[in-house]
Structure 1
Amino acid sequence: MFFVCRWREELPFSKRVVTVPDATVLDWFRRGWEHDDPHAWIDGELGGDVYGLESIFEEARKRHLPRPASVDDLRALVDRAPVGGG
């Protein structure tokens, strides 16, 4: 699976493209679910910071949520997670 992150701070068309071994987004989230330091894991997996992405993992840990069993489970968590860990 490919992860693409775009931002405009450096150049108008800046982007980072990373290949991860997972077949789906759900698989990627499930693999990272139990890491002690979500920020460090995301940084290592995706080649740098992705603003707010760690907040999903932090919210799940704070609420003691099990790994999502479906895309719908993951979507519900993403919709509720505070962006940027706020």
Structure 2
Amino acid sequence: MKPYLVALGIGLLVGALYSLLGTRSPAPPAIALLGLLGMLLGEQAVPLARQALKGQEVIAFWKANCAARVTGVPPTTDDPS
């Protein structure tokens, strides 16, 4: 039940933001797609920031853990077997 309430709360916040910006809801397709891209990138920003704060390699972490979620393309392996 909690994920549903969180989704509803976030939806209310985004709806209020749309209203403040004067954007119709549902948003025009280009705006909606950019919003979805922003959500995907924002979801990965926290793990990347944690890696950077730990002083660990961010590029390798992005390739191993984030890139497939954002692009939809599974990571490739160098091992052909």
Which structure has more helix as a fraction of its residues? 2
Higher RCO (CA-CA < 8 Å; seq separation 6+):
1
TM-score of the two chains, using structure 2 as the length reference: 0.29
Which structure has more strand as a fraction of its residues? 1
TM-score of the two chains, using structure 1 as the length reference: 0.28
Rg larger in structure? 2
